[in-house]
Structure 1
Amino acid sequence: MVQSKLKLPTKLVRTIDDLSPLYLPSEYPDAALRCTRDTVQKGASPEIPSRGRRAGTVAKEEDAQRIAKNYLRRLARNITIHQAILTGSRATGSYLEDSDVDLIIVSDDFSRMQLPQRLRYLQRQWKSKIPLEAFGYTISEFRSLQRKSTYVKEALRTGIALLDARGRVAS
């Protein structure tokens, strides 16, 4: 670890320490190091490693929705889901080959879990090879974020609701 001579306020250091358990290792943990080393040695732009899918195997938007709905059905066996939104490029149709699936999942069952536990739980339940970025919020957290978070506002505006009016995973 590189020690910085920069003196950070104690409150900020504590915040960083609180967030450090949220670090989820990259699928390619040495990619940044390799890219930096290659760029310096060759003087060229680094290649981004593929995620192992061949060209032409890009999951279609409908496939991403189907995969997300199956995921929600698995989650619903253990938690009560109040709202689920597919967001980001998979919702807007502007995804690329390696685009992840972005989900917001609202459940009061998350109140029993700290944020790092929620993220680990949501990641463990994901069975697809397509990368997942899921955020789990309680109902009150989500309501608060609807007023404060640009990401949540955008998700509500452009995202795809994955539950029907009765709170079940839409067909």
Structure 2
Amino acid sequence: MDKETTERDLSAFISRLQTEVHPELVLLFGSRARGDSHPNSDYDLIIVSEKFQGMRWRDRVSYLIKLWDRNDSVDLIPYTRAEFDSKKNDFLAVRTAVNEAVQLLPVRPH
């Protein structure tokens, strides 16, 4: 699947995120971001929002899963800005995800 199709498929979820979570950053990473996914590939998303402040990890993920209104598998990684800034420098997996990511929010001009 190509990146354009993936981004279009995510538009309803992004709209719900904007209404409920007010994210400052949403990154798509993994095979869907690279453009080498297949129809059964999951979606890998990092979501940065201050709404997560004070929430336990599992509560953050549960909250986001309720907003995910698709049959596709998804890995949702919710961070506050401080957590994200720390992890993107200290953890290889997060740094790799950031380096290959497609930024969905805020929208970058093409």
- Give the TM-score normalised by the residue count of structure 2: 0.88
Instruction: Return the match for 1:116 from 37, 58, 67.
Output: 58
Q: Which amino acid aligns with 1:134?
A: L
* Residue correspondence of structure 1 range 4-153 to structure 2 within 5 A: 60-153=2-95
Aligned partners of 2:56 and 2:109: how far apart in 1? 28
Q: Which amino acid aligns with 2:20?
A: N
Deviation at 1:141, TM superposition (A): 0.2
Aligned partners of 2:2 and 2:88: how far apart in 1? 29
C-alpha RMSD of the superposition: 2.0
Once the two structures are aligned, what percentage of the paired residues are identical? 30
Q: Which has the higher strand share?
A: 2
Aligned partners of 1:72 and 1:170: how far apart in 2? 17
Aligned residues: 110
Deviation at 1:140, TM superposition (A): 0.3
Aligned partners of 1:117 and 1:170: how far apart in 2? 33
Contact 2:2–2:36 (8 Å) recurs in 1: no
Does the residue aligned with 2:36 lie in a helix, a strand or coil? coil
**Runs of 5+ consecutive residues of structure 2 not aligned to the other structure:** none
Aligned partners of 1:80 and 1:163: how far apart in 2? 10
CA deviation vs aligned residue, 1:35-56 (integer Å, no higher than 9, x gap): xxxxxxxxxxxxxxxxxxxxxx
Q: Which amino acid aligns with 2:31?
A: S
